[in-house]
Amino acid sequence: MKLSSLTDLLDLQDIDLQIDRLVEKRRSLPELAAYKTAHETLQALERERVSEAGSLKTLELDLDKAEGELQLLEIKLEEHETRLFAGGMSARETEHMRLEVQSLKGQREAMEERVLGMLEGIDPARERVAEIEAEIERVETTKRELDQSIKKEWGAIDGELARKEERKHDAVAPIEGELLELYEKLRGIKEGVAVAAYDHGVCGGCHMALSPAEHEEAFSTDLPRCVHCRRILVA
């Protein structure tokens, strides 16, 4: 194996590691975690808004119904009072009407208290829905800003990756097919590092020193391999 081929392989390794770091940087941008959190927060807020808005709608419908019933009671009470004060009825009919008026007044009072209670409950419910909607708007703004920041960062990284890929294309050209195939295989099983510099008797991949006998074994073939980690060695 020509030394130049191994040197080219070491250069390729350096480019690949730079590409790996850029890919990892792209994948692990801090903004991505923040974006995911914002997205999950929005989903939770949307569910809460649906729930609270549903409860508010029920309260408003119940209030409308109660106010309608109160209005009917007031009309009926007014009619009965008019008949009672108009006279012209027997004593029995008058007493019956008086009791009916008294009953209607009691019903009206109870309904008025019910309506007031509903009004007291509706205001906090409306405020809560408004608070949730304001929070949704705030988180949506944050999410949009994060999205823009992520796209900007990705754009810069992708531009750098394109330049590295061009360099890799040039670096691959002089390397023999079988050697390149072995290199790619080792990259897959050696945490991305297939080739290691051999300096002062130490493998740059596993950082273990080779004894004189191990050195002789490693360099006894055209393709030197570390006896410990089996990475390709370049002296």
Q: What is the DSSP string of 5-48?
A: HHHHHHHHHHHHHHHHHHHHHHHT-HHHHHHHHHHHHHHHHHHH
Whether residue 13 is predicted with pLDDT greater than 80 in this model: the reply is: yes
Cβ distance 228 to 208 under 8 Å?
yes
In the predicted structure, residue 4 carries a pLDDT above the cut 80: no
Is the pLDDT score of 168 beyond 90?
yes
What average pLDDT does this structure show over 199-207?
A: 94
> How deeply is 123 buried, as exposed, middle or buried, from its count of CB atoms within 10 A (0-12, 13-18, 19+)?
exposed
| For helices 3-27 and 91-172, angle between their N-to-C axes, nearest 10 degrees | 170
Give the model confidence (pLDDT) of 86-126 as tens digits.
Answer: 878 888 888 888 898 899 999 999 999 999 999 988 999 99
pLDDT of 2 > 90? The answer is no
Going by their DSSP bridges, the two strands 202-203 and 195-199 should be labelled as antiparallel
Summarize pLDDT for 70-92 with one digit per residue, the tens: 999 999 999 888 888 887 888 88
Residue 222 has pLDDT above 90, yes or no: no
Domains and CATH numbers, the chain: 29-162 (1.10.287.1700)
Q: What is the pLDDT of residue 93?
A: 86
Closest of 46, 2, 208, 10 to residue 137, by C-alpha: 46
Q: What percent of the chain has pLDDT over 70?
A: 98
The pLDDT, as a whole number, for residue 83 is 85
Query: pTM of the predicted model, to two decimals?
Result: 0.70
Please count the other Cβ atoms lying within 10 Å of the Cβ belonging to residue 167.
15
Report pLDDT for 91. 84
Half-sphere exposure of 188 (CA within 13 A, CB side): 6
- Terminus-to-terminus CA distance in the chain, angstroms? 13
